[in-house]
Structure 1
Amino acid sequence: MKSFLVSKVGNTSCQTASSTLVLKGILRRVRQVKDRERGCVIRRMTSNDQKMKYLEAKKQMNTLKKSAVFVLYGEERYLIESMIKAIVEQRLTNDEQTEQWITYDLEEQPVEEAIMEAETFPFFGDKKVVVCENSMFLTAKPSKSKVEHNSEILLSYQEQPVDFSTLILVVPYQKLDERKKITKQLKKNATFIECQAVNDWDIDKWVTHFEAQFSLNLDGQTKKLIQEEIGPRLQLLENEMEKLALFKGNDETISYEDAQALVSHLGQSSGLKLVDAVIEKDIKKAIEIYKDLSRSNEEEIALLALLSSQLRTIYQVKILMQKGYQQQQIAQQLRVHSFVVKMSMERAKRFTIEDLYRAIDYCGETDQLIKQGKMDKPLAFEMLLYQLIHWKVKPVM
């Protein structure tokens, strides 16, 4: 799916604080006159702390029609883009989307410019959507941008937004700073939608979501296949489910065999499949998966991090198992989902504590070899796979 973000960045110079406030007042008075002429009423969100997850928001799009200000936060870009697209399609006609879907990058421009845009009556339609990318002033993360934002103007706007504009604040960060005044006030009037990365144990919900979206009818075995082969990569999952829908045509169901034929090549693209191949000590399968991942532009450093993380979790689970801990107790101790613990407990049976310690040590040394430039990344990673599966001598540093 192509990116649906259409950037139309204003090229006006930053206004001084005083001139901005003057212009803002003029625009507000002009807006009030236009409102009276058109018999419009400025609406305001009355619900307090309206906060929901992406799937919940998608189901309630009709009830969100009156929302004038949105805050989309989280690290899953696919969800953010999909929600922006859904809001835009709900508010604007196809013709309006060309001119009235406007995006500002708040790392380059102050938020007051976006507010001025929102308050300016649309000349080529009845509505407009203003998207504010990188609204990082809503987080506790130190900003690298030198742009200063006048949050008071945003505070004033969100209390009485215009009826012809929808303002979307995008925060590509896991957590908002709810101690800040601006965040507290927005929670009273805006709609917050969480767009976090998907965990492995939530994949089934997304398979079900896309199954309904594309009018598919999948049995349990087929769903499990899709979950295992594609994993939590939502963009890829949507594309593959759409492929199944196109293949289905007028047929009512997709058989397991059909799904296996259509998506089986993706199984080689899963990093977790690589982990399983190492655990199964299948060097041929591990190398094949690694080669496929390389063709998909997966970085060795990222694969190494995934491998190390999985082995470290198995190591911790193994130690707690030997101490007599049960699945739920381990989950509480490690602060991970019980599904992760269950899978790790099954994998831990294939290793001794010494094996796991040595494997983690190999991963650490390979990481150093790559980062210090002492060995070519593909060669270093392939050597690591041989070491993990055949327990060869550690590389010379």
Structure 2
Amino acid sequence: MNYLDAQKELKKTKKNFFLLVGEEQYLIESAVKQVIDSKLSEADRQDNVIKFDMEEATIDTALLEAETYPFFGDEKIVIIDRAYFLTAKQVKTNIEHNIEALINFTNHPVDFATVIIIVPYEKLDERKKITKLVKKQAMYIECATIKEWEIEKWVDQLIEKYGLTIEKQAKELLISETGAHLALIEKEIEKLSLYIGQDQRHITEAVARELVSHQGETSGLKLVDAVIAKDLNRAIQTFKDLLRLNEEPIALIALLASQLRTIYQVKTLIQKGYNQRQITQQLKLHPFVVKMAAERERRFSIEKLYACIDACANTDRLIKQGKYDKLLAFELLLYRLVK
């Protein structure tokens, strides 16, 4: 099941065997925390949560720990991380894993240990006997990067978790400013919850605009959008807004160049016939980043993008050589990009 569905199940399940698969580290950490919270008291966690990295320890060592009765308390949690042997992934390591031991444990688990197997990779190798067995016996939770259409559902769940309501425009601003990064979304919602207090639990657009932190990724996109619109006044105003947030011009040049480079890479791959999912995999970028770049690439020619990236590099060099004041240099850069 996917993580959004698993959240409800984790609150009531009596299972003590879990398989977490996917590359979204935030979801993995959230699922592990939920399991720990449901199984152990705060006092028992220090001695009864043990983690093993399968690139550094053997599966035998981890399972021996799971089969050893806890010295303190009645239950323990054993986390088996980077279980690459459930995938087709090739890992350079001297560790040899006794897969038969895992088969035996999976068929005959102990009732005093909860085992969480983490596979922080894109997919399992379901041709393997051990993979099929573990997936069948464990509560299987997909921790893949959340798809674009799921982001709003995720925000709604967090808003409900914190006992809040939110205006549509405020929600859109929250998603836009965080770049759809899950950890950032929760951090910002927690901050909003603390700010508005217990009496007023509704988040308006005005409150969100005042409090939600500007992320570099989205700030860079705002500058790119001003360039696309050929709106110099808007570009300079965005620049001044970022200066008020203590952003350094040299850092902003790097940020702007990074956004333009991403658009350039996405445009190049689109011209080769790649779809957004393939581009995400090829460039190893968040789907939201690829989506934002894909929405903008058609407004640029390859030549224009190359010229813009080159202008950023030249401006950076001139500032570092002391030939231009950094504020003036950045405004001149914006003028060149908008032309």
Task: Check if 1:356 corresponds to 2:301.
Answer: yes
Which residue does 1:308 correspond to in 2?
261
State the Cα distance separating 1:299 from its structure 2 match: 11
Deviation per CA, 1:195-244, whole angstroms, max 9, x where unpaired?
12234443212211211111111111111111111122211111110111
Please tell me whether the aligned partners of residues 318 and 345 of structure 1 are also in contact (alpha carbons under 8 angstroms).
Answer: no
Structural mapping, 1:261-280, within 5 Å: 261-263=210-212, 265-266=213-214, 270=218, 271-280=220-229
Quote the Cα distance in structure 2 between the aligned partners of 1:179 and 1:293. 53
Q: Verify: 1:128 aligned to 2:128, yes or no.
A: no
Taking the aligned partners of 1:69 and 1:277, their CA distance within structure 2 comes to 51
CA contact (8 A) 1:217 1:252 kept: yes
Q: Which residue of 2 aligns with 1:74?
A: 22
* 3-state SS of paired residue (1:60): helix
Whether the aligned pair in 2 keeps the contact of 1:73 and 1:170 (CA below 8 Å) is yes
Q: Structure 1 residues 85, 343: CA separation in 2 closer, same or farther (over 3 Å shift)?
A: closer
The match for 1:177 is: 125
* Pairing of 1:1-397 with structure 2 (within 5 A): 52-66=1-15, 68-249=16-197, 250-263=199-212, 265-266=213-214, 270=218, 271-281=220-230, 282=232, 283-284=235-236, 306-313=259-266, 347=296, 351=299, 355-362=300-307, 390=336
Counterpart residue identity of residue 93, structure 2:
S
Residues 198/311 of structure 1: CA separation in 2 closer, same or farther (3 Å cut): farther
Q: Equivalents in 2 of 1:54, 1:93: separation in Å? A: 23
Q: Secondary structure at the match of 2:165?
A: coil
Q: Distance in 2 between matches of 1:155 and 1:232?
A: 39
| Alpha carbons 1:105, 1:134 under 8 Å: kept | yes
**Counterpart contact for 1:275–1:310, Cα < 8 Å:** no
Preserved contact between residue 73 and residue 172 of structure 1 (Cα < 8 Å): yes
Please, what TM-score do these two structures have when normalized by structure 2? 0.77
CA contact (8 A) 1:317 1:341 kept: no
1:226 partner letter: L
Q: 1:285 to 1:379 in 2, by over 3 A?
A: farther
Q: Tell me how far apart the structure 2 counterparts of residues 150 and 302 of structure 1 sit (CA, whole Å).
A: 47
Q: Which structure: larger Rg?
A: 1
CA offset digits 1:158-187 (Å, max 9, x no partner): 111101111111122112222222211112
Instruction: Flag the 1:316–1:100 CA change in 2: closer, same or farther, 3 A.
Output: closer
Q: Distance in 1 between matches of 2:46 and 2:5?
A: 28
Shift of 1:275: 3.7
Give unpaired runs (5+ residues) of structure 2.
282-286
**Counterparts of 1:378 and 1:194, CA distance in 2:** 47
> Deviations 1:63-95 (Å, cap 9, x if unpaired)?
4322x2211121221111111110011111111
SS of the equivalent of 1:210 reads: helix
User: Do the aligned partners of 2:51 and 2:81 also contact (CA within 8 Å) in 1?
Assistant: yes
Cα-Cα RMSD: 4.2
Aligned equivalents of 1:343, 1:135: Cα separation in 2: 33
> By how many angstroms is 1:276 displaced?
2.6
Task: Check whether the contact 2:280–2:290 (CA below 8 A) recurs between aligned residues.
Answer: no
The answer on whether the counterparts of 2:180 and 2:288 sit within 8 Å (CA) in structure 1 is no
Q: Label 1:306 to 1:157 Cα distance change in 2 as closer, same or farther (>3 A).
A: farther
Q: Is contact 1:312-1:360 (8 Å) kept?
A: no
Aligned to 1:176, the other structure's residue is in SS state coil
**Structure 1: runs of 5 or more not aligned:** 1-51, 321-329, 393-397
- Tell me the alpha carbon deviations over residues 101-159 of structure 1, each in whole angstroms, 9 at most, x when there is no partner: 11112211101101000000112011100011221222222102221111110111011
Identify which range, 103-112 or 267-276, moves more after superposition.
267-276
Identity %: 37
Q: 2: distance between equivalents of 1:309 and 1:229?
A: 18
C-alpha separation in 2, matches of 1:177 and 1:154: 16
Task: Give the distance between the partners of 2:308 and 2:100, measured in 1 at CA.
Answer: 50
- 3-state SS, counterpart of residue 301 of structure 2: helix
Count how many residue pairs are aligned between Structure 1 and Structure 2: 318
